Structure formats: C-alpha cells, structure tokens
Structure 1
Amino acid sequence: MVICKSTGAALAALILVGASPAHAAADLSTCNEDGFQAVLSPAAATLDARAAWLDRRTLLWPAAPEGFYRLYHSASAAIVARPGAPVRGADGALALAAGQAEISPAFAWLGNGAVLALAAADEARMAVLHQGQLVLVREDAQGKVLDATTVQVAGALDDLYAGAQQVPDLGVTPTAKSTTFKLWAPTARNVAVCTYDSGDGPARAITPLRFDAATGVWSATLPANLDGKYYRYAVDVHANGSGIVRNLVTDPYAVSLTTDSRRAYIADLAAPRLKPKGWDSTPAPARVQAQTDMSIYELHVRDFSINDASVSQANRGKYTAFTETGSHGMRHLAALARAGLTDVHLLPVYDIGSVPERHCDVPDTARLRGLPPDSDVQQQLVGLTRQTDCYNWGYDPYHYSAPEGSYSTKPADGARRIVELRQMVMALHDIGLRVGMDVVYNHTFLGGQAEKSVLDRIVPGYYHRLDARGAIERSTCCDNTATEHGMMGKLMTDSVALWAKHYRIDSFRFDLMGHQPRAVMEALQRRVDAAAGRHINLIGEGWNFGEVADGKRFVQASQLALNGSGIGTFSDRGRDAVRGGGAGDAGRDMLARQGYVNGLFYDPNGSAAQTKEELLKAADLVRVGLAGSVRTYPLTTYDGSVRKLADLDYAGQPAGYASAPGETVNYVENHDNQTLYDLNAFRLPLATGSADRARVQMLAAAINTFSQGVAYFHAGFDILRSKSLDRNSFESGDWFNRLDWTYRDNYFGTGLPPAADNGKDYALMRPVLANPALKATPADIAFARDTFRDLLAIRASSTLFRLRTADEIGQRLRFYNTGPQQVPTVIVGRLDGAGYAGAAYRSIAYLINVDKVAQRIAVPEEAERGYRLHPVQDRVEAGDQRVREAKYDKATGTFTVPARTAVVFVE
C-alpha cells in the first residue's frame, strides 16, 4: 500500500495493490500533485545517527564500548531494534570487525570509539544496501540488542561515488533534437522525471531514469528538444524516520522555476531567446584591476525601487526597475559610479524560500504615515502581513541557481525571470557599475522531508552537516549545509560558476563563509575564473563560530584561516572601533559603548563611563583598519611600543590578520544590525545637532574610504539611512526598509521597530524616536550625499588609497600623531606616491578629526612640502565646505583641521 501526503486536494491516497515498493512505478497522477510525498513503506522506527561512515568500508561509533556489532539491512525499512530483544524485520546482517584506525581530521570531531570494518567480500553489496535501511547494532552474546543507531552516510557516498564530482552536466541539457536529465541520487531506488508543457498544466509524460553505478547519477535522454518546458523528479528513497518514500521534488540544479518554485524550468541559458538585446556585446566595466580597487554598495532589489515614485508601478520592486535609467534611484547609482563606486552587491537574487511570488500583501501605508514616531502600531500592522508581503532579505535559499521570482514582473514564466535579471545586470553595467551577488551556500531554507526541502528529499542525510546524534546543525540560523562533502561542495561551485558565466556576475559575497572549507573556496575560485574567462572577486563573512569553530571539522574559510588565499573577509576591527561596541549590542550597551566617531571619552553621552586609554586603544584599531589589517605592518601604539599588527590584540585575536589588503573588507554598516545613523541616535549625546550627526556619519565614511583593502557600504549609508532603530529588518517589510532617493526623508522616527527582535529595548527606544531633534533634515541628507561622493572621488583619484600588497603598505603608509603624547581624536596618515603607478601625487596626507573642536597637529617631518587641498575638496561645490578652513603651515608642517572633519592634502 502507498500512503500519500500532499498539499493538493485532488489526490488523498493512492493504493497500489499487489506491488512491492521496489516495483511500484510512479505514474502521471504522481506528477500532478504539488508537495506530493508517498510513503511506500512506513518506517518501523526512528533512530539517531550516532555513528558515521568513514569511507565505503569502515565506520566509527563514538564512545561505543566493546561488543558484538552487526549492520542490519532492510529494503522495506522494517527493522525494529529494541534493547533486550533480537532485531526483527531485517533482510539480513553483515558482520563487522572491530579494530584500530587513525581517524581523519574530517571525522575527528566525533571523538574516539569503535572503528568497525566490513568484510572485503561485503563491500560490493554496499551500494545497493545504501538504497534501503541500515541499522548498526551492538549485541550481547545471545544476539539481543544492547544499543542501535543509524549511520551518517556522507563518508561512504563520497568514497563510493567520487567520480560524480567530475560529472559536468548535472541538471537538464536541452539540444536541438534531445533533452538530457541528470540527477545525483545514489541512495534512490527509482527515479523518474515528470515533464510538463507549462508551469501549471498537467504532466505530458513520466519517464524512468537509468542508474549509473559508477557515479550514482540517474539519467535519461528524451528524443525531443524540451527547451521552455517544465519538469520535476519522482524519487523513491529511504528517509530515516519516514521509511521508503516517493518524493515529487524539483532539481537542485534548476536554472529557473515557475511561480512559488513548484516546477523547474528547462532552459539553455545560451539560447538567444533568453538574452536581452545587446547582451553578448555589452561587457562588464573594466574598473577593477586588483581587489583593493573595489568600492561596494550593498543593495536589496526590492528596497531599491519599491518606494520610488519615478519608477513605473509595474516595475517597482522588480529587476526591471533598474532598466528605467531616468528614475531617481538609477540617477543616484549613476552619480555614485561617476564619483568612483565600482560595484553594486545585490542581496540574494537566487530563489528564496520564504517569499510568496503570486501575490504580495502590504499594510495600509496611509494609516502608517499618520501614526506617532514612537508608536508600536506600525510594527503591529507590518506584522500582520509579515509572511505574505513579499519582503525578505533572502537568506533562506530554496534553489541556488535559479533567479528569484518575486523580483520578476511575471514569476509564472520561467524565461521571464532569467531575461529580467540579465536586464538588471546590463543596466548596472551600462552605468559603469559591476554587479556582485550575495550568496548563501551555508544553509538551506528547510531540510529533511519538509515540502520546501530539495536536497534532503533526494539524498537524505547527505547534503546537511549533522551533529553527533545525526540532527542537522543550525548554527547559521537554519539547516546548515556540509560543503565539506564532495557533492555539496560541487553544487556550490557549479552554482557560482553558472552565475558568473551566464549572468556576468563580477563578484560574490559569501554569507557566513567561515562555515565553508578553505580548500573548497580556493578550488571554487579556480573553477569560477575558468568558467567566466576572467578573475571573479570573492569576499565573505569569515566569522569563526558554531560546530566548525577553530577548525573542528576542517580548515575554515574564516578570517584567520584564509590568510594568504586572496579571498577577502569582513573586518570587525575597524568597524567596532569606529562605531563602538559589537555587532549584537542591546540594552544599555547601545548607549554606553561609544566609539571613535561618536564620542568615546571626548564627548560622553551620560551613559558611558569610558577612559582615555579606551580612546587611545580605539584610535590604534582605527589605524589597524586604515593599514588594511595586514599582519606585518609596524604600528607605533598608544604606549609607545612598535608592534606588528598581528601582535596587537583584538578581543583575544590578532588585530592584523591578512597577508594582503585585498583580503580585508572594511565597513561600518551593512544590512545586519542597526544602521550607523540609528546607533548614533543612541551613542551621540542628545544635544548633538542633526548637522553634526550627519558629519559624524561622514567621518565614518572617510575612515572606511581611506582604509586599505575593499571599501564596503550599505545602500543608503550616504543618505543617512534609518530603519527606525530596527536591529534586524530581514522581514520588517517595506515600511522599515525604505529608501528615499529624493533625499527628503531618512525615515528615522517612523514607529517602534518589530517587537520580535527589538521589543525588549522599547523603553530605551521610545524617547529616542520621539525626539524630533534627532531626525535628519533634507539639508543634512544632501550634505552627506555630496560629501560621500567626494570621498569616493578622492579614493578613486589615486592608487595610494588602494595599495596592492602588504609590503607596499609598509613602505608607503606612515602614521603621525601616534604614541603616548598623541591627540587621540585625530588620525594623521601619509601616503608616499614616489614612483608608484597611478599614484597621481608625490604624496598624500589625510587627517581625520573626530573631536567637537578644531585641532592643530604639528608634523615637523612634513614641513616644506607643497601640500594643497585635494582638488575634489578645494572646489566651490564640494560636499563639505568646512574642509576649506583646513590649513597647512609649510614652515612648521602644522596642520589645522576643523571640528568633525576629514581632510586630504596632496603634493
């Protein structure tokens, strides 16, 4: 009997009389049910997976004592292994020999235990037995169960089917006369492909696939070109706890989909029908010769245009909004590109699991606008449509290689989303901006047998990282993937190569990259460069935490472990020093932990009790960031000692961690946590005027812009973006994530942010939001906008702000005003341009005064130089007119820097 579970109403149950699970063929009725899962043979028991295969022959049962071990197998998942009784329901058992073996680092995290080996004669049977239920049992001398567990399967599958990692064309390949389907599913018992003429019509055919025992790949070639059609797979497979199931599932290698990802789309991505006019003749801008040339603007597709009245209604929130070159938003991006911005990094545009694509509900914005600035009603109204408003940052991947449909004007059409995403890329390239993509291969939206799970419904227990009991690790928020497993690493690499080759993506930002192995990321770099025919820049979050922390499972792609790889990681050193505190500050810490630009010691806000020594340490960490956080740079520290940055402490880690500046991504704000404007609402003294608040934000921008390495900015940072204090706006809707490209409003004080992540701090937030003096004026926004563009232009004007190597930084960057006698509120840096390509100047001196008062800094070594204000700052229409008050006394080498001002002198 086949028991069906389905979200569709048409099919409640399917009964196949007289057929065993191995012979129950899928039919067209299977194909036509969304969310279909048939239980072909229910599980007799659910067991933890406390043991793991080390390879095809040996396995490890951690902490297991001596005893008699057998591996029981059942094609119908009928095994019952209860302590104190013999095993029932098995088709047979394999004897295992206990022995000693060196555990590879990949499995050392499990700990010591019994290492068990199959007899050599049994090895050949294992490929077939993996297609059923396997239970490892420790028995007493009478054959009664002492303990039982299932076995984590990845080690065996990676050994048995290593050749699958070389299969170049997983997924679907349509040609003029045929279409080939390939799916890696080595533990499946049967696989068939359902094909459809449309995204919502009935199935046209169901075709069984053939199994290749060498690779574990199921395949079929149909004698027709199905380009433009749709498909799904029916996979019969054993899933622990569910039994033998038949899953109707999409393809991990899907390149597009229909509405709400119900069916995968068949497409030749090189076909002319999927290319916008001019696609093949429009190259990416050649503005980045080295990774340090990158200056990045992080932007969410929906945020970009949903609030822009200059965009046609049909295109708001869509890929196609970027094609309206006369809109306020596109004019803003074009101006940034002219100033020197090189890249727009898009928050995820792959298929997102949590966003409905058919219809978006939105709250009544007219009512929202009429509410008080500190009201909690706004977040209540936004919360009513939280699950149906089509808003999410997108860190919940469903299909890694298919464009998200909610950003398409016609999500039901698998072709339209491909074309429109390419149109967006073309539009950004046309205004001189390269396109980066935020990718999240560290987890999936869901795992196991959930309806919106893909990987686990095809190869259960393989693609996700498991803990010592076999449960999926969730340290990243969701179901962690295991890119250390060969085919998950391949899926990630193949996916990135597809985006780079077929969508001309120029760079990638890897979410929680520290959860990937360094070796896989380095191999990915080589493969993606080859696929694209050019170098693709890779950066990512190198945070060290979770079950992989400190190299527990592999050498990570984390800050310290990526040293020397050329892959960039986000630096928290300068970030925390500049804005104060840490990434997750809450409660009184939001007020008390002032930073370098917002008053640490020199302008206390009444809640902080920080010392001058803390200010001096922060100034040193700012210099660390300005020097690219490279390990070898010698810095004269606040106590007068000269130490390499690798020898300076940052929260128990080396402050300098990179081998080259291109391995450092400098930032003070991104989509996570509060915006800097919102943090400053807490940390600056309440008496700080709105004009000074804008100046403080631009001081942070100056530090980031002048820092060696990659410069990274959150969209709206340059127009004082506020999210009304929201620390986690990933599903806070358009209301809390708006951008105003008309520069009239920064949206501070538009209601208390959603209670789920902010409610515990409402008592602190209410008076802040209710204070009208804290809201930016249009004049403040215009000042920040223009000053930011000036800073970008200064960075772009000279390669001295974008040095390529650690040695060049050591030779050409010098800090003055350091040591015990320094004025700690002023940073003075000098860059030597003698003989350096693209330097434009013999030397550059930059000074950043974060204090409320002007400062005079004597630098005798800089006397008798021909310094003048940088041409960008020495013009009538400069963004920051105060810089024109800055002075350089040639006779004494003394610089005068106005209050809260960053100034650049050139020779």
Structure 2
Amino acid sequence: MKIRCFIAMSMLALCGCNHSHQKAYSSFDEYPFFEGKWEEMVYSPSETKFALWAPTAQEVRVLLYEEGQGGSSYRMIPMEAVNDGMWEAVVNENLAGKFYTFNVKIDDVWQGDTPGVMAKAVGVNGDRAAILDLDSTDPEGWKQDVRPSLKSFADIMIYEMHHRDFSIDTVAGIRNRGKFLALTEEGTHTFLGEKTGIDHLKELGITHVHLLPSFDFSSVDETKLEKPQYNWGYDPKNYNVPDGSYSTDPYRPEVRIREFKQMVMALHKAGIRVIMDVVYNHTALTKGSNFERTVPGYFYRTDEEGKFANASGCGNETASDRAMMRKYMVESVVYWATEYHIDGFRFDLMGIHDIETMKAIRAALDKVDPTIYIYGEGWAAGKPQLPEDQLAMKNNTYQMPGIAAFSDEYRDSLRGAWGDDSKGAFVIGKPGHEAGIKFGIVGGVKHPQVNTDSVHRVPKIWANQPTQFISYVSCHDDLCLTDRLKTTLPKASLQELRTLQKLAETAVFTSQGVPFIFAGDEVLRDKKGVANSYNSPDEINAIDWRNKTHNREVFDYIKELIAMRKAHPAFRMGDADLIRKHLEFIPVQATNVVAFCLKGNPCGDSWRNTVVVLNARTEPITVTVPEGLYRIVCKDGKIDLKNGFGHANGGKLTVGPRSAMIAHQ
C-alpha cells in the first residue's frame, strides 16, 4: 500500500514540532474559505481520497477500521495540510467496505474521533464513516426515477408524517413496520379492507409527503432495535446520511441508503413528492459534536459571555452566517436533492438562520430543479444572536422569494393560541378570530378586506405571495387537532369532534396558501392528550388504523376537499394580484362566520362565482350572496362534487351549524 503525504509532515511529527501547521486567527471571519466541492471521502477501486476542513489544526489523522463499531483501528494515516484550511490524504488501495474516522489535534490536544462533518455513509449509530461506492446503493430503476410533475407551488398539498407513527400499528398490515420500506409496500390494508400505507396516501390525494427527520440522529440506539425506541429525530448527528433505525440493517451502511432511495422512488411512482425535515439550526451535542471536534467554536454562535448561544432551546445554535457553515447547508441540501431526489425541504426553527443563507439555498436548488419547495418555522425557541432584520423570521418572508413559512396566526385563529390548550378559537365558536381566518383564506397576502377591523387585527401581513404561506391547524408539535378539540370542548361527542374537524380542514383546504395536514388528522387521530410526544411510546404516537373505519366520514370529506382543490384552480390562484381581484369577502353580521366569493372564473376554473361559507356557530346562519342560481357541492359535513346537493335560487344561502357550505353559480 502507498500512502501519499508530505515527508515534512512525518518529520514534524517525529521531532514534536507540531505547531508549524497550526494557525491563529483573530476572528472567525479570517478563517479560510474552501471554494471546491466539500467532499471528505471519494472512493474508487484504485484509491480513496480523504479530506477534512480543519484550519486551526496542528495535525489531522485518518483512522481505518474493519468494522463500523468495536475493535481498534488497524491503520493510522497522517494527513497533509493543503490550501484553504483543507487537509488531505490518499490511500492507493481498494478500501471498499472499510470504515474510518478523523482525529484533529489542536493546541497539543487530540479532539477525539469523528466520522467528519460531511459523512455520506456511516456504520451503526453513526460513529464511524463508511467507504463505499454510492452508485452501488442505487436500486434498480433509480436512474430512471423522475419527480412527479408540478406546475406551480400553488398546487402543493402537504401531508406531514413520522415513519414509525405511520406504519408501526400491526392493524395496518405492513411488513416493514416503522421502516423506510413501509412506504414501498403496495396493497396493504386493515382486516376490514381499509387501505393503509402508500395506498392510503394515493387514496387521500395529497401531492407531497413531509417526512419528519430522516437523517442520522442520536437518540435511538441502533444496536438495540429489538427494544421499542421512539424519537422525532430533532437531534442531528450526521446530516447527510439516512438514519439507521429506519433501515432493515443499520450495521450495513449501504442498506439505509438503498432503502431510502427505494422509498423515494416508490412515492414518486405513486405521484407523490418527498419533503425532508432538516434541522441545521442545532446539533444534538455541542462539546463532542462532529463540528466542535473538527473546528472548535466556528460552527456555533456564542453569547456576550462567550457561552454557547441557545436560540434552539436544545443547547446550541449554529452559525449559518459564517461562510463555511453557509456552504455546508447549501451543499447538504443540494446533495439530498441530487443523490436522493428529494423534492422539498422543511427547515426546523428557520428563524435562527440568516436571510442570506436561505436565499443562497433557494438559488442553489433552483439550479437543480426550481420546483423544489422550501418552507420552515419562521421563528426561534429563544433570541438568536443576529439582529432580527437579518434572520429568516416569518416577518421577513417578504425578503425571501420562493421560501414559505408556517402561519401560526391562522393555526391559532382556527384552534386557539399556542401555550394555552384550554382556550379554543373560531372552530369551537369563540368570537373575535374572524380577522385571522380571513388572513388565512387569502394566503397571508395584502388584501383590502383583511385588517379592516380596528379591534381584531392580524399583527403583520408578511407574505408577498400565497405560496409563501403554509395553511395548517395541526402538526407534530403541540396537541394534534383532535386532542385540542377534546381539551377545549371536553364534553363534545364523537360526532361533534368529527364535525369540527371537517370545518377546520375546510378552512385549510380552501385557503389560497399551501395546505398542510398532520398524518392521521384525516381519521381523527389522537395522541392521548400528549403535546410534546417527541419520545413517547408507540401507544401515544402510532396512528390507530382502525380509526379509518370508525371515522370514515372524516376521511372521505377531506379526500373530497383535496379532489376539489385539485380540480378547481380558483382555490389555488398562486398570485397575490389575482387573489385581490377575484376573492371578495361577503359581509356577515353574525360573529363566528366567514364567507367569501371567488368571483368569475379565476384561472379558467369551470366553476363560476364560487361561494364558501364557514359557520362555526351552533345554529344555522343565512348569508346574503350575489343573486343567481347556485349548485351546492358541500353541505352539512358532506361533499359531492359529481351530483351535488341540489340548487339554491336567489341571493340567500342557509348554512347548517358548525359546518361549511360550498356552492357555485
């Protein structure tokens, strides 16, 4: 075997003069920027190249292992300092199937082994990186995999799911329960014949699946998968590798990669795009993390006292504004979009990241495919270290074209404010939330009829376009909708819960924003009243697939809402000017009622002058609408797009209690 490195490096190591390669910088801004493609391992049968960006190191080593866990290193390879803070080594031998770690020496202290920061394959629990040919992980047909067509972001309808929640219930009839492969199985069903798994998603009709963290995270021990373990996965370890706990064999690095690709390919064949939940704002560990052991201090922000800042609420916040962290994020999402054909990214606590970085990510993904969707939480868990006008906060969304944010205003106006589960809002008939509902209906853009009430107003209009606005009432965070309704209306019957769920989802799916539904809400899922169920057992988090039979009327209703939205572009105009031109709110004297008309035939819709009335009152309401003959397609908690529910002639529509009416001339 031949190992290429500088003789001088070896001599320095022998004589102990290790400080020759360690550089001191007065600020992080002085750290060198590496222009090339950031790859830490490049394999070929004849050689493997290793590289690590470690500008403050005295020495860097690569340690080779036979296994992904246990045993000692069988070879240590010194790396040579090259340009722009990079260290390199080349091994002229076929290392396929071997594992490696890096170790960096700074101020005469070895920082500890890591798989690097840019590992693309790892062994069990992600402690060692793996050497393999990525092309060998492609499943059959992968080169022919294509993204399902998408003409506009306005056409998107998102379904947020956790791998284990979705498929762990034995009633689902899925073999690979809790695994990536669960979403490749066709023909799965309950013992009563209800479709489950990917067939359920096709039946529902959503366009995008949002997967909770699927990269390698820390909280599940992959060596003990025979014991039930649960976590949402918001504790990143290796950002560029699928998590092993969702694979059928976490010990073999190629398995998790291949099975993730199989999942993406199966969803694409089903006409469904795939969104990854990404968590670049913090890492599971600070001291001892891959970042901190490689370039101490650089990848994290600190507060005025020099302590690690904590806007994430998880112990640290990453420094997206530093050049190499920004490069890291950009290259990471591009890697997922190209290697794994990912179609969208949801950014956890996006408000911690700076605007410039998010715009750089949008620009880089546009070069891959401009139909890749980006959205995130436009807030932080604490106060980030950058000025607010530099941060990707919700109120700065107007500065980030092509990037969307969740509307907590719409969510809270529908179901009640975050932080006080006992208080409901519009859906259960609490007055004073109509302004927030109207704000959500127009997709968060400026509209002459929104914020006209001097008492009840939305704090800020923040979206330039409706495709920057995520409309939702429930997600994995906090109580799911059913639990929230049970808390705010503790005496509600099951039928009342079904009725209110339908009303809430009607508001979401008739919004001009991008609608988003939490997995299981379509079958009245509950989590036994647990809000922060990030590590709760399956008994709390798993979707009970018997609910699809018990609450079939809710599923059918939401399925028809989705079909209606797909068939009628008036509900997804995708342009703020068109919304201002065609969407007009209808005056209603009573509280807890919002009515609007989609005037004319927006976007060439086959329906003309479509009227939607949301009645959250406990009694019927009669609404004065423009004169005409109306065909009613939604009434009293039922939708029938084909046959409808008769006609209404004149200028009045009477809408049943706690229900929506949709009619068109």
Q: What TM-score do you get using the length of structure 1 for normalisation?
A: 0.68
**CA deviation after TM superposition for structure 1 residue 874, in Å:** 8.7
The equivalent residue for 2:414 is 578
The equivalent residue for 1:520 is 357
Contiguous gaps of at least 5 residues in structure 1: 1-19, 26-39, 41-73, 77-124, 132-150, 363-388, 601-614, 642-646, 745-777
Show CA shifts across 1:736-793 (max 9, x none): 101022326xxxxxxxxxxxxxxxxxxxxxxxxxxxxxxxxx54x2121111111111
Matches for 1:302-341 after TM superposition, within 5 Å: 302-311=164-173, 315-328=176-189, 331=196, 333-341=198-206
Taking a change above 3 Å as real, the CA distance of residues 515 and 689 of structure 1, as seen in their structure-2 partners, is same
Looking at structure 1, the residues matched to 644 and 206 of structure 2 have their Cα atoms a distance apart, in angstroms, of 27
- 2:313–2:382 Cα contact (<8 Å) kept: no
Looking at structure 2, the residues matched to 553 and 244 of structure 1 have their Cα atoms a distance apart, in angstroms, of 38
Residue 395 (structure 2) aligned to one of 539, 545, 560:
560
Alignment of 1:828 with 2:598, yes or no, is: no
**CA deviation after TM superposition for structure 1 residue 294, in Å:** 1.1
- 1:854–1:897 Cα contact (<8 Å) kept: yes
The equivalent residue for 2:618 is 852
Matches for 1:377-526 after TM superposition, within 5 Å: 389-448=228-287, 450=288, 453-478=289-314, 479-526=316-363
Alignment of 1:23 with 2:13, yes or no, is: yes
Looking at structure 1, the residues matched to 643 and 607 of structure 2 have their Cα atoms a distance apart, in angstroms, of 20
**CA deviation after TM superposition for structure 1 residue 22, in Å:** 6.8
Looking at structure 1, the residues matched to 59 and 479 of structure 2 have their Cα atoms a distance apart, in angstroms, of 50
SS at structure 2 position matched to 1:494: helix
**CA deviation after TM superposition for structure 1 residue 407, in Å:** 0.5
Alignment of 1:289 with 2:151, yes or no, is: yes
Residue 179 (structure 1) aligned to one of 45, 48, 67:
48
Instruction: Tell me the amino acid that sits aligned with residue 271 of structure 2.
Output: G
Instruction: Tell me the amino acid that sits aligned with residue 472 of structure 2.
Output: Y
Looking at structure 2, the residues matched to 256 and 311 of structure 1 have their Cα atoms a distance apart, in angstroms, of 31
Residue 671 (structure 1) aligned to one of 448, 453, 476:
476
- 1:340–1:795 Cα contact (<8 Å) kept: no
SS at structure 2 position matched to 1:800: helix
Alignment of 1:352 with 2:217, yes or no, is: yes
Alignment of 1:635 with 2:402, yes or no, is: no
SS at structure 1 position matched to 2:358: helix
The equivalent residue for 1:700 is 504
Residue 160 (structure 2) aligned to one of 283, 286, 298:
298
The equivalent residue for 1:546 is 382
Instruction: Tell me the amino acid that sits aligned with residue 281 of structure 1.
Output: Q
Taking a change above 3 Å as real, the CA distance of residues 324 and 719 of structure 1, as seen in their structure-2 partners, is same
Matches for 1:703-714 after TM superposition, within 5 Å: 703-714=507-518
**CA deviation after TM superposition for structure 1 residue 316, in Å:** 1.3
Show CA shifts across 1:37-82 (max 9, x none): xxx9xxxxxxxxxxxxxxxxxxxxxxxxxxxxxxxxx988xxxxxx
Instruction: Tell me the amino acid that sits aligned with residue 823 of structure 1.
Output: A
**CA deviation after TM superposition for structure 1 residue 884, in Å:** 9.5
Residue 813 (structure 1) aligned to one of 583, 586, 592:
583
Show CA shifts across 1:563-583 (max 9, x none): 142200000111111101x22
The equivalent residue for 2:123 is 258
SS at structure 2 position matched to 1:508: strand
Alignment of 1:206 with 2:42, yes or no, is: no
Matches for 1:598-747 after TM superposition, within 5 Å: 598-600=428-430, 615=431, 617-630=432-445, 632-635=446-449, 639=453, 649-650=457-458, 653-654=459-460, 656-684=461-489, 686=491, 688-743=492-547
Taking a change above 3 Å as real, the CA distance of residues 545 and 246 of structure 1, as seen in their structure-2 partners, is closer
Matches for 1:205-224 after TM superposition, within 5 Å: 205-212=75-82, 214-224=83-93
**CA deviation after TM superposition for structure 1 residue 457, in Å:** 0.5
**CA deviation after TM superposition for structure 1 residue 707, in Å:** 0.7
- 2:523–2:552 Cα contact (<8 Å) kept: yes
Looking at structure 1, the residues matched to 621 and 230 of structure 2 have their Cα atoms a distance apart, in angstroms, of 47
SS at structure 1 position matched to 2:598: strand
Looking at structure 1, the residues matched to 643 and 620 of structure 2 have their Cα atoms a distance apart, in angstroms, of 13
- 2:79–2:89 Cα contact (<8 Å) kept: yes
**CA deviation after TM superposition for structure 1 residue 887, in Å:** 6.9
Residue 595 (structure 1) aligned to one of 411, 422, 425:
425
**CA deviation after TM superposition for structure 1 residue 833, in Å:** 4.4
SS at structure 1 position matched to 2:120: coil
The equivalent residue for 1:869 is 632
Taking a change above 3 Å as real, the CA distance of residues 456 and 246 of structure 1, as seen in their structure-2 partners, is closer
Taking a change above 3 Å as real, the CA distance of residues 486 and 825 of structure 1, as seen in their structure-2 partners, is same
- 1:184–1:218 Cα contact (<8 Å) kept: yes
Looking at structure 1, the residues matched to 643 and 614 of structure 2 have their Cα atoms a distance apart, in angstroms, of 14
Taking a change above 3 Å as real, the CA distance of residues 318 and 340 of structure 1, as seen in their structure-2 partners, is closer
- 1:336–1:789 Cα contact (<8 Å) kept: no
Larger radius of gyration: 1
**CA deviation after TM superposition for structure 1 residue 847, in Å:** 1.4
Residue 559 (structure 2) aligned to one of 762, 771, 789:
789
SS at structure 2 position matched to 1:867: strand
Show CA shifts across 1:687-727 (max 9, x none): x3210111101111000011111111110111111111101
Looking at structure 2, the residues matched to 552 and 698 of structure 1 have their Cα atoms a distance apart, in angstroms, of 41
How many residues align? The count is 649
Looking at structure 2, the residues matched to 513 and 256 of structure 1 have their Cα atoms a distance apart, in angstroms, of 26
Instruction: Tell me the amino acid that sits aligned with residue 236 of structure 1.
Output: K
Looking at structure 2, the residues matched to 279 and 342 of structure 1 have their Cα atoms a distance apart, in angstroms, of 21
Looking at structure 1, the residues matched to 539 and 224 of structure 2 have their Cα atoms a distance apart, in angstroms, of 18
Show CA shifts across 1:155-179 (max 9, x none): 231xxx12x1x22142211134322
**CA deviation after TM superposition for structure 1 residue 825, in Å:** 2.5
- 2:622–2:654 Cα contact (<8 Å) kept: yes
**CA deviation after TM superposition for structure 1 residue 685, in Å:** 5.5
- 1:296–1:713 Cα contact (<8 Å) kept: yes
SS at structure 2 position matched to 1:226: coil
Q: Percent of aligned pairs with the same residue?
A: 33
SS at structure 2 position matched to 1:438: strand
Show CA shifts across 1:475-500 (max 9, x none): 21222111111111111111111111
**CA deviation after TM superposition for structure 1 residue 332, in Å:** 5.3
Residue 649 (structure 2) aligned to one of 885, 890, 901:
890
Taking a change above 3 Å as real, the CA distance of residues 623 and 24 of structure 1, as seen in their structure-2 partners, is farther
Looking at structure 2, the residues matched to 883 and 720 of structure 1 have their Cα atoms a distance apart, in angstroms, of 26
Show CA shifts across 1:861-903 (max 9, x none): x112x42123xx599xx95589999775422x10111122222
**CA deviation after TM superposition for structure 1 residue 648, in Å:** 7.5
The equivalent residue for 2:608 is 842
Show CA shifts across 1:428-449 (max 9, x none): 112221111100000000012x
SS at structure 2 position matched to 1:848: strand
Taking a change above 3 Å as real, the CA distance of residues 554 and 828 of structure 1, as seen in their structure-2 partners, is closer
Looking at structure 1, the residues matched to 602 and 452 of structure 2 have their Cα atoms a distance apart, in angstroms, of 32
**CA deviation after TM superposition for structure 1 residue 216, in Å:** 0.2
Show CA shifts across 1:501-529 (max 9, x none): 11111011000001001111111111123
SS at structure 1 position matched to 2:429: coil
The equivalent residue for 2:7 is none
